[in-house]
């Protein structure tokens, strides 16, 4: 088909005024409004949300780009179908030479690669470039690297069928976009962001483990593992907050200048304790806290060289990661793999990294795909919410949802997201202005007239409804980290509301996410009286008393819903098997060759 009249008119007008547009005075905002917006509107996109969709389901999310140095803090457009990102578009003013300029291409590719999107567009209307964003971006790349299509505005009319076949909304709904993306996949240099980020944090773990073991010879194996985990988690948390504009951008980067990096990093951690109230930053004894403060990591010695190595690759242009668009489930997948290995001391000052025995036995770590999590949550939590009322006094607040082997928190993230969406929709459908009033509003309205949950409501839902247990203390910390980042995922909520609140931002999850063995209670040694009662066995078994850990829930009938994926490959020592058989009438069956599965019949 021929190009629509609107496209022909845009091309004609642009050509007639090309010299004017290419002067620096004609800016990005003007080219977006006068040319790019109508261009994509012609492709069927509801650019201005004329259909009045809720913010979560708008076709197009517009970002007001914040420039920090030469880095742009958000893609100008995010095109979505059903709330799911399909591609980004980065806009530039016509005076920018898109064909040859390295920076715009690198910025766009960082966004899309971090968001795990296959294709994205860079355009100033004069030029139109499509990139395969599955290729890891490098700061030394040419502008042409991973570019699979390049057009100029005078080609739009002749190439319109090709453009519409890929980027029209109708074409995306018919699957043409996905087919095109697969057909144009550049094999060379392809590196998914999750596998790349996993390699990076595994490198950090090895670097920090060896340095901390060397400089802190009195640490036990467990203390070393936690020290490394806490340090990495805290840095990642604060760096993500920087890209979400919750923390001042570049704050961690300033530590690269000067000496005593860890002492100065601790000062930032202490300030984070004051700001967030999270167990991730908990250094002082406080009334009402279920867990004691961290007195371990504050006394560590870590060399400047090791920490600077970690920090220097977290920022543009050296870093390929754009944390503001990194999906929560990607971080969970990375950590699930990360937790498959553990640090072991071979001497008081030497450490090695090795796979956990259960991981070796299972043949690797298997992360539950997001679509499986979503399906299970929808058909469990979704059913449970039928007929329930939202709010702190509503019936939904009484629901207690548990993952008893939570790992990195993939199921709990899915549960929490479902609850957030459900509460928002319930409030919006029941007169949102009513829920935005009072001393404790549940909603607030964004400048773009969308409704979002307040930070207090997001915290309340998490504390009321979401619970988890895992035998691995590192997994517990990762689950907490994942949930806390989910609380902060809507950075506009945090930034706009911080001045209104005197209390700290994040909830303390120590009463919700616990460490212990879901199958073995503290009466273990009553059943195994002949077993030597020693520290190694206590640590290995990690017995868990449900009544003591969740007293109110147990007294009120227990949990309403159990979700999760059992830890395939988990092994039991003989004493544990005796206990389980005696207490739970447990049996061992085999559902496939060489894969023992433990079933507990209560």
Please tell me the predicted confidence (pLDDT) of residue 600: 43
Residue 364 — very low, low, confident or very high, per pLDDT cuts 50/70/90? Answer: low
Local structure of residue 74 (DSSP, 8 states): S
- Whole-number percent of the chain with pLDDT over 70: 85
For residue 350, the cross-strand partners are 347
Contact assessment for residue 576 and residue 540, using Cβ atoms and an 8 Å cutoff: no
At 142, the pLDDT band (50, 70, 90 cuts) reads very high
**For residue 205, how many C-alpha atoms fall within 13 Å in the half-sphere facing its CB?**
25
**Degrees, nearest 5: CA angle 106-107-109:** 65
Which pLDDT belongs to residue 601? Answer: 40
Take residue 217 and report the two structure tokens written for it.
């010879």
- In Å, what is the CA distance from 548 to each residue of 406, 443, 545, 592? 19, 35, 5, 37
pLDDT at position 490: 65
Q: Which of 273-287, 380-394, 568-582 has the lowest mean pLDDT?
A: 568-582
Helical spans, DSSP H, in 452-501: 455-465, 473-487, 491-497
580 vs 587: CA distance, rounded Å = 9
Per-residue confidence at 591, pLDDT binned at 50, 70, 90?
A: very low
DSSP label at residue 76: S
Q: What pLDDT is attached to residue 94?
A: 94
Pairwise CA distance, residues 412 & 239, whole Å: 23
Preceding omega of 317 cis (within 30 degrees of 0): yes
Phi, psi (rounded to 5 degrees) for 543: -60, 150
Phi, psi of 53, rounded to the nearest 5 degrees: -65, 150
* pLDDT, position 434: 92
Digit-coded pLDDT (tens) for 160-178: 999 999 999 999 999 988 8
Q: What is the DSSP letter of 368?
A: P
Between CA 209 and CA 300 the distance in angstroms is: 12
Residue 64: pLDDT over 70: no
Q: How far apart are CA 132 and CA 510, in angstroms?
A: 43
Task: Please compute the mean of the pLDDT values over residues 54-61 and round it to a whole number.
Answer: 84
Please check whether residue 554 is in contact with residue 547, taking contact to mean a CB–CB distance below 8 angstroms.
yes
460's tokens: 């309340």
DSSP character string of 169-188: HHHHHTTHHHHHHHHT---T
Distance between CA 487 and CA 82 in Å, rounded?
Answer: 22
Nearest-angstrom CA–CA distance, 485 and 233 = 11
Mention the CATH class of domain 5-183: alpha beta
pLDDT the model gives residue 494: 54
Is the pLDDT at 186 greater than 50, yes or no? yes
Q: In this structure, are strands 77-81 and 127-132 parallel, antiparallel, or unpaired?
A: unpaired
Q: Are 432 and 446 in contact (CB under 8 A)?
A: no
Backbone φ and ψ of 492, nearest 5°: -65, -35
Q: What is the DSSP letter of 367?
A: P
600 touches 519 (CB < 8 A): yes
- In the prediction, which pLDDT does 539 show? 72
| H/E segment holding residue 235 | helix 221-243
Rg of the chain in Å (alpha carbons)? 26
At 311, list the tokens. 């920090």
pLDDT more than 90, % of the chain = 50
Lowest mean pLDDT across 16-20, 88-92, 360-364:
360-364
Mean pLDDT of 336-347: 84
How high is the mean pLDDT of the chain? 85
């Amino acid at each position: 088909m021929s190009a629509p009249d609107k496209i022909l008119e845009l091309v004609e007008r642009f050509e007639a005024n090309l010299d004017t547009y290419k002067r620096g005075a004609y800016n990005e905002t003007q080219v977006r409004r006068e040319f790019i917006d109508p261009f994509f509107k012609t492709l069927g996109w509801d650019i201005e949300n004329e259909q009045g969709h809720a913010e979560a389901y708008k076709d197009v999310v517009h970002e007001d780009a914040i420039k920090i140095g030469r880095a742009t803090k958000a893609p100008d457009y995010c095109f979505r179908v059903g709330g799911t990102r399909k591609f980004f578009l980065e806009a530039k003013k016509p005076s920018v030479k898109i064909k040859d300029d390295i920076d715009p291409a690198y910025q766009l590719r960082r966004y899309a690669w971090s968001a795990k999107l296959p294709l994205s567009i860079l355009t100033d209307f004069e030029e139109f470039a499509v990139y395969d964003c599955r290729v890891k971006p490098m700061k030394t790349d040419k502008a042409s690297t991973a570019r699979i299509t390049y057009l100029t505005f005078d080609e739009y009319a002749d190439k319109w069928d090709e453009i519409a076949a890929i980027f029209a909304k109708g074409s995306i709904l018919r699957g043409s976009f996905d087919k095109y993306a697969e057909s144009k996949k550049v094999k060379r240099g392809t590196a998914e962001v999750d596998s790349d980020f996993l390699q990076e944090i595994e490198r950090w773990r090895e670097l920090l483990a060896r340095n901390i073991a060397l400089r802190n010879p009195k640490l036990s194996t467990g203390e070393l593992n936690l020290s490394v985990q806490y340090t990495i988690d805290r840095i990642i948390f604060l760096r993500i907050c920087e890209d979400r504009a919750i923390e001042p951008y570049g704050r961690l980067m300033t530590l690269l200048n000067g000496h005593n990096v860890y002492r100065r990093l601790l000062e930032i951690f202490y300030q984070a304790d004051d700001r967030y109230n999270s167990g991730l930053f908990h250094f002082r004894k406080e009334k009402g806290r279920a867990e004691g403060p961290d007195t371990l990591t504050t006394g560590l010695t870590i060399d400047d060289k090791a920490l600077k190595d970690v920090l220097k690759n977290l920022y543009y242009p050296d870093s390929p990661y754009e944390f503001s668009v990194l999906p929560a489930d990607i971080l969970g997948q990375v950590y699930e793999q990360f937790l498959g290995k553990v640090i072991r001391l071979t001497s008081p000052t030497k450490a090695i990294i090795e796979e956990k025995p259960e991981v070796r036995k299972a043949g690797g770590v298997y992360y539950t795909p997001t679509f499986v999590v979503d399906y299970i949550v929808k058909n469990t939590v979704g059913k449970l919410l039928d007929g329930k009322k939202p709010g702190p006094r509503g019936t939904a607040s009484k629901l207690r949802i548990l993952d008893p082997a939570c790992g990195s928190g993939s199921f709990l993230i899915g549960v929490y997201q479902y609850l957030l969406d459900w509460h928002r929709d319930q409030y919006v459908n029941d007169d949102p202005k009513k829920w935005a009033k009072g001393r404790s509003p549940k909603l607030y309205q964004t400048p773009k007239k969308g409704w979002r949950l307040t930070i207090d409501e997001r915290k309340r839902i998490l504390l009321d409804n979401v619970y988890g247990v895992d035998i691995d203390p590192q997994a517990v910390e990762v689950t907490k980290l994942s949930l806390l980042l989910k609380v902060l995922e809507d950075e506009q909520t945090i930034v706009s509301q911080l001045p209104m609140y005197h209390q700290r931002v994040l909830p303390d999850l120590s009463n919700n996410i616990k460490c212990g063995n879901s199958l073995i209670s503290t009466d273990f040694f009553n059943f195994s009286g002949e077993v030597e009662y020693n520290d190694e066995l206590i640590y290995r078994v990690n017995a868990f008393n449900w009544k003591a850990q969740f007293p109110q829930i147990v007294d009120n009938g227990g949990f309403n819903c159990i979700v999760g994926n059992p830890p395939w490959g988990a092994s039991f020592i003989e004493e544990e098997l005796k206990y389980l058989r005696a207490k739970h009438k447990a049996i061992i069956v085999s559902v496939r060759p060489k894969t023992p599965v433990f079933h507990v019949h209560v």
